[in-house]
């Protein structure tokens, strides 16, 4: 049985979106070159074109013709995608508990003391903004 289509980008699609958010509209070959550089390994031109076409069908990317080339640009905002994916993670993994998510993040080995302090400052700033 096939897996149902996700509302969110796959890992490769997210990498493509990050390139398009950073670089703006560009041809598939530029996307391929950036992917190859970031992954430190070659990726087939046909794989990139197939991925971009799937992303067009999903509404993640826009495509327009310019001469003989197709140019691709993001059809979704970075904040829109990150908020959606974070909300999905929050619901599926932490049963909707922001407190559990934050506690898990703070206990993670990926967050050092400087990041703990920065997070504390952000939380305090957001709380003060909410009191105004």
- pLDDT tens digits along 71-113: 999 999 999 999 999 999 999 999 999 999 989 988 888 889 9
Mean pLDDT, residues 17-38 taken together: 96
pLDDT greater than 70 at residue 1? no
Domain coordinates of the chain in residue numbers? 11-74, 97-132
Q: For every residue of the chain, which 3-state class applies, written as one string? A: CCCCCCCCCCHHHHHHHHHHHHHCCEEHHHHHHHHHHHHCCCCCHHHHHHHHHHHHHHCCEEEEEECCEEEEEECCCHHHHHHHHHHHHHHHHHCCCHHHHHHHHHCCCCCCHHHHHHHHHHHHHHHHHHHC
pLDDT greater than 80 at residue 132? no
Enter the pTM of the model.
Answer: 0.82
pLDDT of residue 2: 57
Domain 11-74 architecture: Orthogonal Bundle (1.10)
């Amino acid at each position: 049985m096939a897996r149902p289509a996700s509302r969110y980008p796959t890992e490769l699609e997210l990498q493509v979106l990050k390139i398009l958010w950073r670089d703006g509209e560009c041809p598939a070959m530029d996307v391929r070159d950036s992917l190859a550089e970031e992954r430190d390994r070659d990726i087939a031109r046909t794989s990139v074109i197939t991925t971009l076409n799937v992303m067009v069908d999903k509404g993640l990317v826009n495509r327009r013709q310019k001469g003989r080339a197709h140019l691709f640009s993001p059809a979704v905002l970075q904040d829109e995608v990150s908020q959606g994916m974070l909300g999905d993670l929050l619901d599926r993994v932490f049963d909707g508990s922001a407190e559990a998510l934050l506690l898990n993040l703070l206990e993670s080995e990926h967050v050092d003391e400087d990041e703990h302090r920065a997070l504390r400052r952000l939380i305090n700033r957001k709380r003060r903004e909410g009191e105004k």
